[in-house]
Amino acid sequence: MTDLTEDDDPRAAKLLDAQAKAVELFAAVERRGLLAPGVTEVQASDAIRDLAARLFGVSRHWHKRIVRAGPNTLLPYAENPPDRPIGTDDIVFCDLGPIFEEWEADLGRTYVVGDDPVKKRLLDALPQVWNGGREFFETHPDVTGEQLFAQLTLLAEQAGWEFGGPIGGHLIGQFPHDRIPGNKIELYVTPGSDKPMRRTDQAGRPCHWILEVHLVDRDRQIGGFHEELLDLG
């Protein structure tokens, strides 16, 4: 785990503060029961948008808000499935990118509605695979994006799941979201991303990363998602 102070990298403290606010937002979503049976994904997303505005003054999100339930949880970020109501015995995940005072947060969490033991096992596996990915990052100083993705895929299989997304993370920064000229694959934890993740950007600033884990069971038509800062916190 990288231990950066605000003097070492002023952006680190800002990113950690944005993530802490996003964690508070997710806790408020759960307390208010916004992800309830009968609520559609769009209704839940709009309710979360409104709650973020009331609690934190959030007016922008740097990427589309995602609330997915049931079979829609199999789909990666780029897909746009039809709106679906949350079922009485369902699994739901949220992927949010609220902007707090010009700083991006990116947090993903999964919830189980009901008592299905397989869905609960999936819920438990998500942070375990995520922590395994972080441990690999911490113990391999020269790790590349493609190497970390391969490890996430292996960890998912060892836990009895399939890694469901084409990426396992990405760069994060100040809004608007950082873009590095040239080969965009270097922005992501994904096959072909062969530059060391521990590097600086064109301005000489440390690159900071989000780690995301998307686990699926295609036979059972369920998936889950867990996402947060990789190299800070």
- Domains in the chain and their CATH numbers? 10-229 (3.90.230.10)
Across residues 83-91, what is the average pLDDT? 97
pLDDT at residue number 59: 72
pTM for this one? 0.91
pLDDT reading at 30 higher than 90: yes
Contacts of 116 (CB under 8 A, 6+ apart): 89, 91
pLDDT reading at 62 higher than 90: no
Whether residue 76 contacts residue 93, with contact meaning beta carbons closer than 8 Å, is answered with: no
pLDDT-derived band at 98 (thresholds 50, 70, 90) equals confident
111: enclosing H helix or E strand: strand 107-113
List, for residues 169-204, the tens digit of each pLDDT value.
998 865 444 444 445 899 999 999 999 999 998 888
What is the SS3 assignment for 40? Answer: strand
Percent of the residues in the chain that have a pLDDT greater than 70, as a whole number: 90
Whole-number average pLDDT of the chain: 89
